[in-house]
Amino acid sequence: MEKKEQLYEGKAKKVFATDDANLVIVSYKDDATAFNGEKKGTITGKGVINNVMSNHMFQLLEQQGVETHFVEQLSDRETVVKKVDIVPLEVIIRNISAGSFAKRYGVEEGIMFTAPTIEFSYKDDDLGDPLINDYHALALGLATQAEIDQIKAMAFKVNEVMKDYFDSLNVILVDFKLEFGKTSDGKIVLADEISPDTCRLWDKTTKEKLDKDRFRRDMGGVEEAYNEIMKRVMGK
């Protein structure tokens, strides 16, 4: 697999073309951002953890019938994935109140929901990724109704699989963000990453935060938290 020109650089990843038009190489960085890029920093080793953990989770989800963009891990930081057009919707599944949900609705963190919630935000940094509903997504032409229905079904399936999996690691899956993409033949697959950057993960016993909230909130112990999750996920 030949790595060619850089196609894109985001906050956490670089994407490179390959000699196959349908495949790209994703390279994970240690850069960390929060609050729509207002807060910037570095989390040493984060790129490796997010790459390895995402690939592990994607393979786990594939085994449970969730199609993903994962193809093959090349190294600690680089992975071959299917080239997709990202659907400009960030999909957030919440099992417990935390973060912006708690702030927005004036509730405390840690309230267990009777059923998971789902919300969409319009993926646009300039607008601050505003919350939108299905009707807005249709009006803006971001996805069709069939695609929205499929994305919702896939997101709830991902939640079921991941909740059980993290529970087995003594970790509570509080909430997480997903992104979906369309392959060249129009198929919707799970894309982006699944990592402590995109999930809120609390230790089941101590309720200690093992995710990016430690960076967002200047809590310290960020690298240690990421390493702890990596250790549990990879069984090391």
pLDDT tens digits along 90-103: 999 999 999 999 99
Q: Count the residues in the chain.
A: 236
Of the candidates 230, 214, 209, 234, the residue with the CA atom closest to the CA atom of residue 50: 230
User: 85-220: what CATH class?
Assistant: alpha beta
pLDDT of residue 20 exceeding 90: yes
Q: What is the pLDDT of residue 6?
A: 96
The single-letter DSSP state of residue 19 is: S
CA distance 152 to 231: 30
Taking the CA atoms of residue 72, residue 77, residue 83 and residue 88 in that order, the dihedral angle to the nearest 10 degrees is 130
CA distance 27 to 13: 6
Average pLDDT over residues 210-229: 95
Of the candidates 98, 229, 118, the residue with the CA atom closest to the CA atom of residue 165: 229
| Sequence ranges of the domains in the chain | 3-82, 85-220
Average pLDDT over residues 133-146: 97
What are the distances in angstroms from CA 105 to CA 96, 99, 100, 117, 118? Answer: 13, 10, 8, 14, 15
What are the distances in angstroms from CA 129 to CA 44, 123, 126? Answer: 27, 5, 8
Q: What is the pLDDT of residue 236?
A: 67
CA distance 221 to 227: 10
What are the distances in angstroms from CA 171 to CA 55, 202, 206, 207, 230? Answer: 19, 6, 10, 9, 12
Q: Which residues contact 89 (CB under 8 A, 6 or more apart)?
A: 120, 121, 122, 123, 132, 137, 142, 143, 151, 179, 180
pLDDT of residue 16 exceeding 70: yes
pLDDT of residue 161 exceeding 70: yes
Cβ(189)–Cβ(84) under 8 Å? yes
Residue 228, H or E segment: helix 222-234
pLDDT of residue 223 exceeding 90: yes
Of the candidates 208, 184, 211, the residue with the CA atom closest to the CA atom of residue 200: 211
Q: What is the pLDDT of residue 36?
A: 84
When the pLDDT of each residue in the chain is averaged and rounded to a whole number, the result is: 96
pLDDT of residue 142 exceeding 80: yes
Give the CATH number of domain 3-82: 3.30.200.20
pLDDT of residue 1 exceeding 70: yes
- Residue 88 one-letter amino acid: P
Residue with tokens 């970790």: 171
